[in-house]
Amino acid sequence: MDLREFLKKASLAHGVSGFEFMDIASLAKDAMEGLVDEIHVDVLGNVIGVKHGQGPQPRPKIMLAGHMDEIGLIVTKIEEGGFLRFAPVGGVDQRVLPAHEVIVYGKRPLTAVIGVKPPHLTSPEEAKNAHKMKDLFIDTGLPEEEVRNLVRVGDVVTFKRQVSELMGDRLSGKALDDRAGVAVILACLDELRKYKVDADVYAVATSQEEVSLGGAVVSAYGIQPDIGIAIDVCHGETPGVPEWRTSSVGKGPALAQGANIHPKVFAALEKAAKETGVNVQKEIAPAATGTDAWAMQVTRAGVATGLVSIPLRYMHTSVETLSMSDIEGAGRLLARFIASCDAGFVKELKTWI
Amino acid sequence: MKDLIKRLTEAFGPSGSEGPVREVIRKEVEPYVDEIRVDAMGNLICLKKGSGGGKKVILDAHMDEIGVIVTHIDDNGFLRFANIGGVSPMVALGQRVYFENGTFGVIGCEKLDDIKDLRLEKLYMDIGATSREEASKKVKVGDMAAFFQPAIDMGNRIVAKAMDDRIGCVVVIEALKRIKQSEHDIYAVFATQEEVGLRGARVAAYGINPDVGIAFDVTGTGDTPKAHTMEVSLGKGAAIKVKDSSLICHPGLRDYLVKLAEEKGIPYQMEVLQRGGTDSGAIQLTRAGVPAGVISIPSRYIHSPCEMVDLGDVEACVNLCVAACESPLDF
């Protein structure tokens, strides 16, 4: 499995929250083929691959959740001249929008730009402030009539951004939050071939994480797992951000600790990291992690959750930057963790400490 | 229909106190449905059985409205209150409110040096009492009040309080009356507590375990002076929702509704609402997931006592609802 190639393709794929079916879902599904025994897609568009274990029934059920949706924009109005007004889907930073190239998914994909007033025509007072989303617009270059023909209110928009292969093993691009998590799941499934595994593994490329955690809410209900591990991204070190709020890109995945994480799952993940020689960092999450783990934990009568994070810089911009080695490491430690899960461990998880 | 709108919008029903609204609706729908029950959250659930082989379909509209709840009564008989749902102090100031027992109050404000300091905490309610004892005879801490405004018939447009979401209730009631033939088991859910977190619909949907959910609720418009950017206009038809803050509608169901509207010649507009949620947000995340959508009634001045709707839009919503129920819903 060429993870790097997968991630480069996945980064370019279109999959704004709720619209994963337009591109990224089929890419995730194709990538899972051969690694799992069966695949289905549920009502909210979650792609669920099942790899059966060899343990005695009832086998432990482990759900892996990496969300495949990305933040993006949605058309709210078509204005005179064919300019498009828009709103965010998920946490879009309005300050980084001006001068972006975008793709408007109308009747056919349209390349467009987010235009702004030139500095020559901007007063010194105006120039002091960042552009607000409500003042920005998308220009497709097409005449109004044609725009009205091709685009309707509610069509979604993604950033148009090639993946940059930076020095070393670093990739930079859009939507690596959380296509990186999907890549980790694939790496883990691939690695699992080396192990004898008791548990049934449910590999889920979840939908709608960026807007509601909705994909994880319903898929976890349907699967009813004993253990749920979310794989998402955390903040990589960044100038101007205190060290304690970040993890280091390239120094291994981060294991989260806090109310959202079952202490025994955390301990078992840490142990698996040690056994596989994967360096890990700690991510402290006092309350909500803002990830699929938050939704999985309170599904039905409760699920023992863990969270493995890939350090990533410039989150929610189109130049999210990460290291491939962190993804590979996360895949290896997760496979080891899964192989260690037997009926006895699941029984232990039925209490918090 | 105008008479029903008037009776429903003038009924009392802040979130958690929907009783009077429930009784109006129960009487109205009784002849048109096969079973009626009320669940633990106060949802009124009415089943209109299908001819068989169809789906379990929820048609949801919420009964509750925004309002206020009494938190304190002072020595001079003035009442302090908190909001039930999204109540703006700008809208509340100077309004008349009423309690379920018929007591009226007016909303006054402490002296402000700057109108920018206007907050709900600066407001109080005056029920005409001169002491705590006198006030306590009529109102207790924890009692809820609704805004008081009679409905006004402007011809093709109607203004009232609680149009959010009694007009949705009207659409569902009218549809129940007009559906001629449906293979689907239609569960009309008149839900409670939408304004405080989509709470009634959440449990109703869990209990019913539907195959499809469609909510009927109001949505904002962008057609008033210097309004924020929004394509929806009053009078341009039923709004088929794509997204609001509570959900992204099921794309299959959304496009199915668009196709139905086009086939039947029902005026419609696409809707993206930037702020605000609907019961479908809760229905969608029920159990292992439910395909959910929303048919919205465009409304101006939402969450004020002067919510305005256009009867042409209401009619379009009813027609689309009936068309959906009479169709196979095989998206």
pLDDT of residue A351: 87
pLDDT of residue B154: 97
B291 touches chain A (CB under 8 A): yes
Residue burial A21-56, b: 16+ Cβ < 10 Å; e: rest: bbbbbebbbebbeebbeebebbbbbbbbbbbebebe
How many CA atoms does the CB half-sphere of A329 hold within 13 Å? 26
A222 touches chain B (CB under 8 A): yes
The SS3 assignment for B90 reads helix
Kindly state whether residues A233 and A125 are assigned to the same domain. Answer: no
B194 has catalytic annotation: yes
- Best of B243, B249, B290, B294 to substitute, by most chain A Cβ atoms within 10 angstroms, is B243
Kindly state whether residues A48 and A86 are assigned to the same domain. Answer: no
pLDDT of residue B130: 97
Q: Is residue A192 part of a domain?
A: yes
Interaxial angle between packed helices A3-12 and A176-192, expressed in degrees from 0 to 180 and rounded to the nearest 10: 150
Does the beta-carbon distance from B246 to A212 stay under 8 Å? yes
Residue A171 phi/psi, 5-degree rounding, is: -115, 145
Q: Which of A159, A184, A219 is the last residue of a domain?
A: A159
The residues facing A33 across adjacent strands are: A36
A134 touches chain B (CB under 8 A): yes
Q: Which of A105, A124, A159 is the last residue of a domain?
A: A159
Residue A31 CA, chain-centre distance (Å), reads: 16
As a whole number of angstroms, the distance between CA A48 and CA A32 comes to: 9
B289 touches chain A (CB under 8 A): yes
Given A78, A85, A214, which is nearest B284 (Cβ)?
A: A214
* In contact, A60 and A226? CB cutoff 8 Å: yes
pLDDT (average), residues B26-50: 98
Tokens 């609001």 belong to residue = B244
Q: Which residues of A touch B248 (CB under 8 A)?
A: 17-19, 89, 208, 211
Kindly state whether residues A190 and A314 are assigned to the same domain. Answer: yes
pLDDT (average), residues B171-178: 98
| Angle at CA of residue A347, ends A341 and A350, nearest 5° | 115
Residue A66 phi/psi, 5-degree rounding, is: -125, 125
Kindly state whether residues A188 and A229 are assigned to the same domain. Answer: yes
- How far apart, in Å, are the Cα atoms of B188 and each of A117, B65, B150, B216? 51, 18, 27, 11
Kindly tell me the burial class for residue A193, based on how many C-beta atoms sit within 10 Å of its own C-beta (0-12, 13-18, 19 or more). exposed
- How far apart, in Å, are the Cα atoms of A86 and each of A102, A108, A118, A153? 12, 18, 20, 9
Residue B293 phi/psi, 5-degree rounding, is: -145, 175
B-chain residue closest to A135, CA distance: B229
Kindly state whether residues A306 and A223 are assigned to the same domain. Answer: yes
Strand A304-312 and strand A227-235: the pairing is parallel
Q: Is residue A167 part of a domain?
A: no
Given B250, B251, B272, which is nearest A87 (Cβ)?
A: B272
pLDDT tops 90 at residue B135: yes
- Best of A43, A83, A137 to substitute, by most chain B Cβ atoms within 10 angstroms, is A43
As a whole number of angstroms, the distance between CA A311 and CA A320 comes to: 10
A105 touches chain B (CB under 8 A): no
Q: What share of chain B is helix, strand, coil (3-state, %, to 5)?
A: 30, 30, 40
A17 touches chain B (CB under 8 A): yes
The residues facing B151 across adjacent strands are: none
B118 touches chain A (CB under 8 A): no
pLDDT of residue A78: 96
Q: Is residue A169 part of a domain?
A: no
Q: Which residues of B touch A25 (CB under 8 A)?
A: none
B233 touches chain A (CB under 8 A): no
Residues 6+ apart with CB under 8 A from B14: B64, B65, B66, B67, B68, B69, B84, B85, B144, B145, B146, B195
Q: Which residues of B touch A19 (CB under 8 A)?
A: 248, 251
State how far residue A2 is from chain B, nearest Cα, in angstroms.
32
Does the beta-carbon distance from B274 to A76 stay under 8 Å? yes
Interaxial angle between packed helices B19-29 and B2-10, expressed in degrees from 0 to 180 and rounded to the nearest 10: 150
pLDDT of residue A181: 98
B228 touches chain A (CB under 8 A): yes
A87 touches chain B (CB under 8 A): yes
As a whole number of angstroms, the distance between CA B187 and CA B49 comes to: 8
pLDDT of residue A117: 87
Residue whose C-alpha is closest to residue A196's, from A56, A28, A81 = A56
The per-residue pLDDT for range B244-285, each reduced to its tens digit, is 999 999 999 999 999 999 999 999 999 999 999 999 999 999
Q: Can you read off the two tokens belonging to residue B50?
A: 């299908």
Q: What share of chain A is helix, strand, coil (3-state, %, to 5)?
A: 35, 30, 40
Q: Is residue A29 part of a domain?
A: yes
B230 touches chain A (CB under 8 A): yes
Task: Please name the residues between 273 and 292 in chain A that touch chain B, using a CB distance below 8 Å.
Answer: none
Q: Domains along chain B?
A: 2-65+161-326 (3.40.630.10), 67-147 (2.40.30.40)
As a whole number of angstroms, the distance between CA B205 and CA B280 comes to: 10
Residue A296 CA, chain-centre distance (Å), reads: 15
As a whole number of angstroms, the distance between CA A230 and CA A295 comes to: 10
Does the beta-carbon distance from B247 to A75 stay under 8 Å? no
Q: Is residue A165 part of a domain?
A: no
Q: Which of A128, A159, A190 is the last residue of a domain?
A: A159
Does the beta-carbon distance from A214 to B270 stay under 8 Å? no
Neighbours of A282 (CB within 10 A): 12
Q: Which residues of B touch A219 (CB under 8 A)?
A: 288-289
pLDDT tops 90 at residue B77: yes
The per-residue pLDDT string of chain A (353 residues; one tens digit each, 9 = 90 and over) reads 899 999 999 999 999 999 999 999 999 999 999 999 999 999 999 999 999 999 999 999 999 999 999 999 999 999 999 999 999 999 999 999 999 999 999 999 999 999 988 999 999 998 899 999 999 999 999 999 999 999 999 999 999 999 999 999 999 999 999 999 999 999 999 999 999 999 999 999 999 999 999 999 999 999 999 999 999 999 999 999 999 999 999 999 999 999 999 999 999 999 999 999 999 999 999 899 999 999 999 999 999 999 999 999 999 999 999 999 999 999 999 999 999 999 999 999 988 87
Q: Is residue A275 part of a domain?
A: yes
Q: Which of B194, B195, B271, B307 is catalytic?
A: B194
User: Residue A100 belongs to a domain with what CATH number?
Assistant: 2.40.30.40
pLDDT grade, residue B99 (50/70/90)? very high
Kindly state whether residues A107 and A148 are assigned to the same domain. Answer: yes
As a whole number of angstroms, the distance between CA B54 and CA B179 comes to: 15
Kindly state whether residues A65 and A77 are assigned to the same domain. Answer: no
Kindly state whether residues A329 and A240 are assigned to the same domain. Answer: yes
* In contact, A24 and A14? CB cutoff 8 Å: yes
As a whole number of angstroms, the distance between CA B288 and CA A216 comes to: 10
Q: Which residues of B touch A17 (CB under 8 A)?
A: 248
Strand A281-284 and strand A254-257: the pairing is parallel
Provide long-range contacts, Cβ within 8 A and 24+ apart, for A168-172.
A168/A250, A168/A323, A169/A250, A169/A323, A169/A324, A169/A325, A170/A249, A170/A250, A170/A321, A170/A322, A170/A323, A170/A324, A171/A4, A171/A7, A171/A8, A171/A11, A171/A321, A171/A322, A171/A324, A172/A319, A172/A320, A172/A321
As a whole number of angstroms, the distance between CA B216 and CA B79 comes to: 35
Does the beta-carbon distance from B287 to A75 stay under 8 Å? no
* In contact, A94 and A133? CB cutoff 8 Å: yes
Kindly state whether residues A14 and A122 are assigned to the same domain. Answer: no
- Cβ contacts below 8 Å, chain A against chain B, sum to 75
Q: Is residue A51 part of a domain?
A: yes
Residue whose C-alpha is closest to residue B224's, from B304, B106, B315 = B304
Residues 6+ apart with CB under 8 A from B192: B15, B16, B18, B41, B42, B43, B62, B63, B64, B199, B200
Kindly state whether residues A145 and A188 are assigned to the same domain. Answer: no
Order of strands across the sheet with B152-153?
B152-153, B157-160, B307-310
Q: How many distinct structural domains can be found in chain A?
A: 2
A299 touches chain B (CB under 8 A): no
The per-residue pLDDT for range B191-245, each reduced to its tens digit, is 999 999 999 999 999 999 999 999 999 999 999 999 988 999 999 999 999 999 9
Range of the domain at A343: 3-70+174-348
State how far residue B306 is from chain A, nearest Cα, in angstroms.
25
Kindly state whether residues A214 and A123 are assigned to the same domain. Answer: no
- Best of A137, A153, A208, A219 to substitute, by most chain B Cβ atoms within 10 angstroms, is A153
Q: Is residue A353 part of a domain?
A: no
Kindly state whether residues A199 and A82 are assigned to the same domain. Answer: no
